[in-house]
Structure 1
Amino acid sequence: MNQVTICGYLAKDFELSQSKNNTDIARNFVGISTKRIIKNGNDITEMTHTDWIPLAIFGKRALVAKEYLKKGDKFLGTGRIFTSTYEDEKGETKYSWQVIINHFEFVHKDMHKESMKETSNPPLKEAQQINEADMEMIVPDEQNNEVNVF
């Protein structure tokens, strides 16, 4: 089973693009920090490590994420890991991965409460299937530490 639940803080505002099939795609990174305490005799050092997990959200959910979720907001979502390979300009095989989010929640307490009251069917409850054709090869841009679609 390929299922991921992820909770962390958004690195930036979502960036919106479209696939070759005109499906909206919102991309971002979620930061998840882990603290470790290292004891060396009487010395105690606290270290924090942050993992940056790449996310992609498709369709109507992508538009909702772009509009309502901003840099620094807490993010809670479920999805699956998607991996791909590609060849760089030197002909070397590279590997890429990201979490394809199929459901997420508004965790931040100030998230547009009024807009959610106006509709009895919030956009997050709509079911939507993601076509494999919409998940094009996704590769990292090593200069900008971003993820690009080809």
Structure 2
Amino acid sequence: MNKVVLIGRLTADPELRFTPGSGASVTTLTLAIDKFVKGEKQVDFVPVVVWGKQAESTANYMTKGSQVAISGRIQTRSYDAKDGTKKYVTEVVADQFGGAEFLGSKGKGNSENNEYSQPVNDAFGSGEFEEDITPVNDPDMPF
């Protein structure tokens, strides 16, 4: 199974491009993701690719510092650079459905000094349940 879910902040504004020929929308971005190693905070920088309508929404609504959750798959590829060397790339390709979910922007919370804001209702979902999904409220569930 190749599935990854990441939450991080954009290191720069997303870059929207259109592929030559087909004109498909593609947005590239980099997520800064916190991790803790032996109690010390460190950051990983993960490249992400978003395709289609989500690519356009991501580029239009997200800016540097925005907190984003991405679900997708890890992809590796290679290409020949202009100098003749072979380059290898590992990146996350966001899922076509529900691949990116906006979580908020740094410093725009509902309370003072709150670094994270409430989820934003946007092109990726209203925050409501789909018709075929029923929330479970069972007091016997262990979580």
Normalising by the smaller structure, the TM-score range is: 0.5 to 0.7
| Distance in 2 (alpha carbons) for counterparts of 1:64 and 1:90 | 35
Moved >3 Å (runs of 4+): 109-113
1:106 is the counterpart of 2:102 = yes
- For the 8 Å contact 2:10–2:66, the answer to whether it is kept is yes
Distance between the aligned counterparts of 1:12 and 1:89, measured in 2? 25
> Which position in structure 2 is the counterpart of 1:31?
32
Q: Secondary structure at the match of 2:50?
A: strand
Deviation at 1:124, TM superposition (A): 2.4
Runs (5+) with no aligned partner, structure 1? 38-45, 117-122, 126-150
1:68 and 2:32 correspond: no
> CA RMSD, aligned part only?
2.0
Match of 1:136 in 2: none
2:23 partner SS: coil
**Counterpart Cα distance in 2 of 1:71 and 1:59:** 21
- SS in structure 2 of the partner of residue 63 of structure 1: helix
CA drift at 1:2 = 1.4
Superposed counterparts of 1:4-83, under 5 Å: 4-20=4-20, 21-37=22-38, 47-83=40-76
Gaps of 5+ in 2: 105-116, 126-143
CA deviation after TM superposition for structure 1 residue 81, in Å: 1.2
Q: Which amino acid aligns with 2:100?
A: F
* Secondary structure of the structure 1 residue equivalent to 2:84: coil
The higher relative CO (CA closer than 8 Å, separation ≥ 6) is in 1
State the match for 2:111 in structure 1. Answer: none
Q: How many residues align?
A: 109
Counterparts in 2 of 1:2 and 1:53: CA distance versus 1, 3 Å: same
- CA distance in structure 2 between the aligned counterparts of 1:27 and 1:74, rounded to whole angstroms: 15
Greater fraction of residues in strand: 1
Deviations 1:12-34 (A, max 9, x none): 11111111210111111000122
* TM-score between both structures, scaled by the size of structure 1: 0.64
Whose helix proportion is higher, 1 or 2?
1
Partner of 2:58: helix, strand, or coil? helix
Inter-partner Cα distance in structure 2 for 1:8 and 1:74: 6
**Superimposed CA distance per residue, residues 31-89 of structure 1 (whole angstroms, 9 cap, x where no aligned partner):** 0122334xxxxxxxx64321100011111101111111111111101111121112234
CA distance in 2, matches of 1:36, 1:85: 30
Query: TM-score of the superposition, structure 2-length normalised?
Result: 0.66
Identity of aligned residues (%): 26
Contact 2:30 2:45 in 1 (8 A): yes
